[in-house]
Amino acid sequence: MLLDGKRLLITGVLDPRSIAFHVARCAQEQGAEVVLTSLGRARRLTERAAGRLPTTPDVLELDVTSEDDIAAVAKDLEGRWGRLDGLLHAVAFAPGSCLGGGFLDAPWEDVSTALQISTYSLASLGRGFAPLLEAADGSSVVGLDFDASLAWPGYDWMGVAKAGLEATSRYLARDLGPRGVRVNLVAAGPLRTIAATSIDGFQHFEPVWDERAPLGWDVRDPEPVARTVCALLSDWMPAVTGEIVHVDGGAHAIGAGVPRAVDDGASAVAGA
Ligand code: NAD
């Protein structure tokens, strides 16, 4: 199996809709041993979701803004496994003022919270787990991105946070590569998770994918993203780092509507 013997730390499972939940399921199905993390009051939900995985994993406390939490999880994994083959960063948060319009009015205090949790945390986790990742024979850090090359309705400061995440992943790839650690992002198309549907404006993303994705896109199907993350966590992409893999049905590559159907020899353009 793709991930036989791999030991993985997976952040960001909130409920069974979470992208990270599907990565954890796919990874277990592919032979990996998994530990999840959660924080505070979300932990009960995470533990309930953990019980719905093929094998119920342990859930460790990890607020990505806490260096103490990161150190405690690293210590636990050192005793448990002595190494870490892979890490999924599936964490994002922004206060309400940073999303859904009002871009110009969001105060720095709120913006800094969004950037600390959604962007800087990739570097924090990379730093905190580097010794364990280095102890593995080639390891992989994967983060979840939403294409930050364009401005989106309502995404506002989270879009800025994702642009920062893209840059952070490249610098982390630069600094951890010599230690045998790959760092990549998966830029996912829109999926109906708690984080996504709480964004006022998310509904405006969906028609863009209907119109542009040559392969089509289902906002209820996280499987393509989960499989790609598992591929990046495996040994099958050993020379790929600092990369952003778009798992979006191809929408990022297409400027306007895609021919959908052939009707009497003439193609119809969806959304035209
Ligand atoms: P989700 O709500 O299921 O997951 C978000 C996670 O972030 C939750 O588990 C939450 O507990 C965690 N989190 C928030 N603050 C934290 C903190 N301080 N410390 C540790 N964890 C914290 O939603 P999701 O859509 O599965 O989001 C996972 C990742 O995927 C995010 O980075 C998100 O931006 C990204 N993403 C989502 C979509 C989409 O359309 N759903 C598309 C592209 C990228």
Going from the Cα of 125 to the center of ligand 1, the distance in angstroms, rounded, reads 15
Q: pLDDT digits over 161-188, tens only?
A: 999 999 999 999 999 999 999 999 999 9
pLDDT value, residue 269: 43
* 3-state SS assignment for residue 59: strand
Atom of ligand 1 nearest to the CA of 196: 41
Residue 6 confidence (pLDDT): 98
Q: How far is CA 95 from CA 8, 44, 92, in A?
A: 29, 22, 11
Q: Is the CB of 132 under 6 A from ligand 1?
A: no
Query: What pLDDT sits at residue 261?
Result: 66
Sequence-ordered list of residues with C-beta below 8 angstroms from that of 41, at least 6 positions apart, any chain: none
Q: Supply the residue whose CA is at minimum distance from atom 15 of ligand 1.
A: 93
Secondary element (H or E) of residue 89: strand 86-89
**Low-confidence residues in the chain, pLDDT < 70:** 261-272
Query: Could you count the other beta carbons within 10 Å of the beta carbon of residue 147?
Result: 18
122-150, pLDDT tens digit by residue? 999 999 999 999 999 999 999 999 999 99
What pLDDT is recorded for position 11? 98
Among candidate residues 6, 75, 162, 171, the one labeled active-site is 162
- The residue whose CA has the least distance to atom 23 of ligand 1 is 195
With a CB cutoff of 8 Å and minimum separation 6, the contacts of 263 are none
Residue 215 and residue 50: Cα distance in Å, rounded? 31
Question: Exposed/middle/buried for 206, CB within 10 Å: 0-12, 13-18, 19+?
Answer: middle
Contact predicate 87/129, CB 8 Å: yes
Helix axes 121-135, 67-80, angle to 10 degrees: 20
CB neighbours of 51 closer than 8 A, spacing ≥ 6? none
Q: What is the pLDDT of residue 247?
A: 98
Amino acid at 32: A
Which of 93, 152, 199, 205 for a ligand 1 pocket mutation test, highest count of atoms within 8 Å of Cβ? 93
Q: How, if at all, do strands 259-263 and 266-269 pair? A: antiparallel
Residue 75 annotated to the active site: no
In 3D, which of 63, 55, 177, 154 has the Cα closest to residue 116? 63
196 lines ligand 1 (CB under 6 A): yes
- Within 6-107, residue ranges assigned H as helices are 19-29, 43-50, 67-80
Say whether 162 is catalytic.
yes
CA 196 to centroid of ligand 1, rounded, Å: 8
Structure tokens at 37: 């993390």
What pLDDT, on a 0 to 100 scale, did the predictor assign at position 262? 55
- The pLDDT value given to residue 197: 87
Question: Is 19 close to ligand 1, i.e. is its CB under 6 Å away?
Answer: yes
